[in-house]
Amino acid sequence: MVSAGVDRYLSGDYLRRNPDWHDADAVWKARQIGELLVDVRLSPRTLCDIGCGSGGVLAELHRLLPHAAISGYELSPQAVRIAAARHPDIPVEHIGALQVDRRFDVVLLLDVFEHVEDYLGFLRRIRTTGDRFLFHIPLDLSVQLLVRRGRLLRKREEVGHLHYFSKDTALASLEDAGYRIDTWRYTTPGIDGPDPTWRMRLLRGPRRIGHRLAPDLSATLFGGFSLLVLATPADGVLGIGRERAHPGDP
């Protein structure tokens, strides 16, 4: 039986609510990832994006990391068709995350596990897919969002968020699921992200000042922040039962 949470990605409901499948964010997200990889001097030979949507982030990373063999995996048949049309050179396979049977140097999970009903079980089971993991996690828990009645429920309806995180609960969840946090940083879609709403434009000034002076407080008060986390499976489960992906593999 398919859960209601998963069905929205299979039935076309998610596409109806998000017709560009967030491709407008792709260049911005890829830039955040590229900057972090440079800062930590990590140059993956193989990289995959699980829950890659329409493949826009992978397409941009292919430009930024031309020597990395990249792969995408996506549950939604609509997103896979969009990826094939928009980014025909990017390999996107139509399978669920837990069906991936290869291991990569770096696995991307970008704005993914907040959509998963049993997100801790999902995070534990996905660990064998990679040596390192890059998570991008929206920080929905902010004072600004909580005082706007109904906004969290609208996020649930519009973009399918089933769980809501602050910086501390996001990092604690990853540790509870068996990851060691290597490094993390805020990303600021509410300040420099694409296609802002008028409310986002209104809050850009306070968010920008707060990010400079007191980023934790600013994220808590104003919202508009996400978390980019580089993590390693902490318990020696690397690659058990997974075939190593080699550069040049499809």
Summarised one tens digit per residue, pLDDT across range 158-214 is 777 899 999 999 999 999 999 999 999 999 887 676 665 656 666 666 677 767 778
d(CA 125, CA 71): 19
The two tokens of residue 3 are 């859960």
CA distance readout (Å), 246 to 87, 237, 249: 22, 19, 6
pLDDT at 122: 96
Tell me the CATH number of domain 4-230, given options 3.90.1310.10, 3.30.420.10, 2.30.42.10, 3.40.50.150: 3.40.50.150
**pLDDT value, residue 168:** 96
Residues linked to residue 180 through DSSP beta bridges, in sequence order: 232
Beta bridge partners of 12: none
Q: Which residues pair with 93 in a beta bridge?
A: 73
CA dihedral 54, 59, 65, 66 (to 10 degrees): 130
- The pLDDT value recorded for residue 208 is 73
The whole-angstrom separation of Cα 120 and Cα 199 is 33
DSSP designation for 117: T
Residue pair 106/131 in contact by the 8 Å Cβ criterion: yes
Locate the domains of the chain by residue range.
4-230
Segment 44-58, tens digit of pLDDT? 999 999 999 999 999
Asked whether 96 and 143 are in contact (CB, 8 A), the reply is: no
Q: Report which residue type is found at 174.
A: L
**Which whole-number Å values give the CA distances from 48 to 71, 162, 215, 245, in the listed order?**
5, 24, 30, 10
Task: Using a cut of 0.95, tell me whether the model's pTM lies above it.
Answer: no
- Residue 217's pLDDT is 83
DSSP strands (E only) in the chain:
46-50, 69-73, 92-93, 102-110, 130-138, 179-187, 226-233, 243-244
Phi, psi values for residue 82, rounded to 5°: -65, -40
Q: What percent of the chain has pLDDT over 90?
A: 59
SS3 content of the chain, % helix, strand, coil (to 5): 45, 20, 35
The segments of the chain whose pLDDT lies below 50 read 1-2, 238-241, 248-250
Closest CA to 234 of 103, 113, 112, 131: 131
